Amino acid sequence: MSHIVAIVGRPNVGKSTLFNRLIQRREAIVDSVSGVTRDRNYGKSEWNGKAFSVIDTGGYVRGSDDIFEGEIRKQVELAIDEADVILFVVDVEEGITPMDEEVAKLLRKVTKPVLLGVNKVDNAMREKDAIEFYNLGLGDYTTFASTSGSGTGELLDNLVAAFPDKPEPTKEEIELPRFAVVGRPNAGKSSFINALIGQDRYIVTDIAGTTRDAIDTKFDRFGFEFNLVDTAGIRRKAKVKEDLEFYSVMRSVRAIEHADICILIIDATRGFEGQDQSIFWLAEKNRKGLVILVNKWDLVEKDTMSTRDYEAKIRKEIEPFTDVPILFVSAHTKQRLLKALEASVQVFENRKQRIPTSKFNDYMLKVIEGHPPPALKGKYVKIKYCMQLPTPTPQFVFFANLPQYVKEPYKRFLENKIRENWDFSGVPIDIYIREK
């Protein structure tokens, strides 16, 4: 299980610079997936062999000072809820500000590890100035400079050392597939789960975000056995009406990371919106299996929009990863819910399938022979051998004499050919070209 680190602090202390520095080493690997919009607020990092996710909670804070106060409080609450370690960043140039004191006050009550990082310390003079941050009452601090990178090694050492020990997952947890039900608030996630389980485990109301935490339900009906994870809608205070997009996506992070399959529920009456798309790409980036359920289909005027048009619109939005099951359901009338489950189980099976190397070569090498990679600068690329890697998610490697000449469009061609011959519906695939 990877840990989650949240970076908090008031605006302009250098959180984003630090965030970019933390994820840069892996950014190239994580984001070599075509068509993924880089998410400014969430990334993966690794230090001393420990992988972790980083959330920059400051990504969406805008507005006047009094709004800031509320926003900062919300960020800190989000961090307290979702993260394993909280990294509180302050700025040595400005010293302690009233807003820093506010944040510290919230963090002093937290039982989770809190790390205090003093930014912009790049000489001995500033090292002395940093001493005043003891007054925040959070104990020791680590000094660093995110722009030059000095001190970030020590910061990372302290960060990784603070990770709480996670219990080893039980045998049952490993073996039972985890299906996370994700989506924006009020799309009908809890109603969907209630309809499946057949009892109102969740109180469903029309207030967005009445589900407070991700709840696991062991599901054993109709011959399927798995864990169903309801992702905390979002805790939404009734008076908070502002942009919830960031918060609902961040809330989904943990559930998505720990799931095998993500069942993305969208509200038919609202369409496939920005927030749905963010959650979709988050799951895709994490290489999870995906099923899209268009819920509340019973409420849509059928003459204005057929399922075919609606589906085509969604597929347009999720290019190039369009090989995903899309089903039209209604949690309210229980229409096609079993179909939705069957589709999810099928995606789970697709995701763990292994193709024997000889079969894979027989098929793919013929395909490549008929349609070789385009020559570049008069040089011809030859691919003589390929195989599926023994990884938890489907990854394929093709050995070529000039791997650097094989570009993205050709990789997509290979992926499409694999999908034509084997069922990887709903499953992201990685294609690597290596030197033989």
Annotated binding site for GTP: 9-16, 56-60, 119-122, 183-190, 230-234, 295-298
CA distance 210 to 320: 34
Query: CB–CB of 43/23 below 8 Å?
Result: yes
The sign of the torsion formed by the CA atoms of 271, 276, 278, 282 equals negative
Q: Give Cα 339 to chain centroid, integer Å.
A: 26
Q: Which residues are annotated as a binding site?
A: 9-16, 56-60, 119-122, 183-190, 230-234, 295-298
Phi, psi at residue 212, to the nearest 5°? -95, -40
The sign of the torsion formed by the CA atoms of 100, 102, 103, 107 equals positive
CA distance 80 to 259: 21
